[in-house]
Amino acid sequence: MTPKQRQKAILQIVEARVVKSQRQLGDLLARRGFAATQSTLSRDIADLGLVKGAAGYVLAPPNGREPVTARGLRSTLRSFVLEVEAVANQVLVKTTSGSANAVADPLDDVEWSEVAGIVAGDDTFLIITRSARQAKTIAKRIRQLLS
């Protein structure tokens, strides 16, 4: 398995659950069929921009704000999102009145590779991707976080 596949698995693990240590991360990776040494995990963590905080490993946003945790993102989405729809290379997200920026901001901080940009209004925002396939992927990911 390639380093890219291993790193993708690491991101999926960190987004899905609290991971408090490299040892725990290594064990979770091994369950998915990825063998990795401690030095390999350290390199992957650095390459992915993960930081270890009180809530475990999370993605560190480049703008210096608090890191976005999967649990925090899930809570924000569940609180404000009403509808998610992939349309061509975009994802239309409808929120409660006045909440679009509150939801779009942490989504932008996550820096999903499929996202080219996000444009927010009052109760709706658009996630712009590079392809229709990527838009469907993002819409599915958001729906999973909502469930």
**Which residue, chain included where needed, has tokens 């475990």?**
56
**At 81, which CATH number?**
3.30.1360.40
Q: Does the residue 76 lie in any domain?
A: yes
The C-alpha atoms of residue 103 and residue 77 are separated, in whole angstroms, by 6
pLDDT of residue 103: 86
C-alpha torsion angle, residues 138, 136, 86, 50 (rounded to 10): 10
The C-alpha atoms of residue 52 and residue 19 are separated, in whole angstroms, by 9
pLDDT of residue 124: 95
Considering only 21-25, 56-60, 121-125, which range has the smallest mean pLDDT?
A: 56-60
Checking if the pLDDT of 63 tops 90, the result is no
**At 46, which CATH number?**
1.10.10.10
Say whether 131 sits in a helix, a strand or coil.
coil
The token pair at 120 is 């927010």
Q: Does the residue 28 lie in any domain?
A: yes
pLDDT of residue 75: 76
Structural domain of 20 = 3-59
pLDDT tens, 83-102? 999 999 999 999 988 888 88
Query: What DSSP element (H or E) covers 7?
Result: helix 3-16
pLDDT tens, 97-132? 888 888 888 888 787 889 999 999 999 999 999 999
